[in-house]
């Protein structure tokens, strides 16, 4: 896996999980902004599903994606708490 591929995989995990975490916080608080975040999340998810398997495969890619997802969770929790 090249560095570019690793960054791409990390960013995908980061962005999707950040939006999921943010939307979960917004929904739990009953905030209407959750509707817009859900629309954005759906678009990102759809684009990711169409192309993710062509980027990289294997345990290394899974670990990079998981690390991005963990960072995305932290950001989503932070932004959702503002």
pTM: 0.83
Report how far residue 50's alpha carbon sits from residue 82's, in angstroms, rounded to the nearest whole number.
33
User: What integer pLDDT is reported at residue 61 of this predicted model?
Assistant: 85
Instruction: List helix spans (H) across the chain.
Output: 3-28, 33-51, 59-80
Report how far residue 12's alpha carbon sits from residue 63's, in angstroms, rounded to the nearest whole number.
12
**Which distant-in-sequence residues (6+ apart) come within 8 Å of 7 by Cβ?**
none
User: What integer pLDDT is reported at residue 33 of this predicted model?
Assistant: 94
Per-residue pLDDT of 4-48, as tens digits, reads 988 998 999 999 999 999 999 999 999 999 999 999 999 999 988
Domain definitions of the chain by residue range: 3-80
């Amino acid at each position: 896996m090249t560095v570019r591929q690793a960054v791409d995989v990390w960013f995908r995990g980061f962005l999707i999980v950040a939006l999921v975490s943010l939307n979960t916080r917004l929904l739990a608080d009953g905030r209407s902004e959750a509707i817009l975040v859900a629309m954005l999340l759906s678009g990102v998810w759809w684009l990711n599903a169409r192309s993710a398997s062509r980027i990289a495969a294997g345990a290394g890619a899974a670990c990079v994606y998981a690390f991005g997802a963990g960072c995305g969770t932290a950001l989503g929790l932070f932004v959702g708490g503002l």
